[in-house]
Amino acid sequence: QKEVEQDPGPLSVPEGAIVSLNCTYSNSAFQYFMWYRQYSRKGPELLMYTYSSGNKEDGRFTAQVDKSSKYISLFIRDSQPSDSATYLCAMSQGGSYIPTFGRGTSLIVHP
């Protein structure tokens, strides 16, 4: 079992839909949780950064962390074709920042 599990998709949704992306993990020492967006042939770009459990909202994006279930989510409201990308979750134990990444979920938002 990998430390971080993420469904690779692809996930295809119509424009305007609410998108839910998820990761599960096995290492209870993880404290920092990140979501990155990666467009084709580009490097990952940090979207959201959360410490411990709870919710964090930034515009159309909401990140949720449930440490008791070892489950994290990213919600995208009013999805746009420009949101089409691969979304990577990442997490770390803090201190010396060495994140462990999921394999990424490919999202396609069609007009």
Residues that bind another protein (CB under 8 A): 4, 6, 8, 31-32, 36, 41-46, 49, 51, 88, 90, 92, 94-104
Nearer to another protein by C-beta: 19 or 34?
34
Nearer to another protein by C-beta: 42 or 77?
42
Using alpha carbons only, what angle is made at residue 86 by residues 36 and 3, rounded to the nearest 5 degrees?
Answer: 65
Nearer to another protein by C-beta: 73 or 106?
106
Q: Which of 18, 12, 9 is nearest to 79 (CA)?
A: 18
Rounded Cα distance, 109 and 111, in Å: 7
At position 45, the amino acid (one-letter code) is E
Rounded Cα distance, 14 and 108, in Å: 8
Least Å from the CB of residue 15 to another protein: 26
Least Å from the CB of residue 98 to another protein: 6
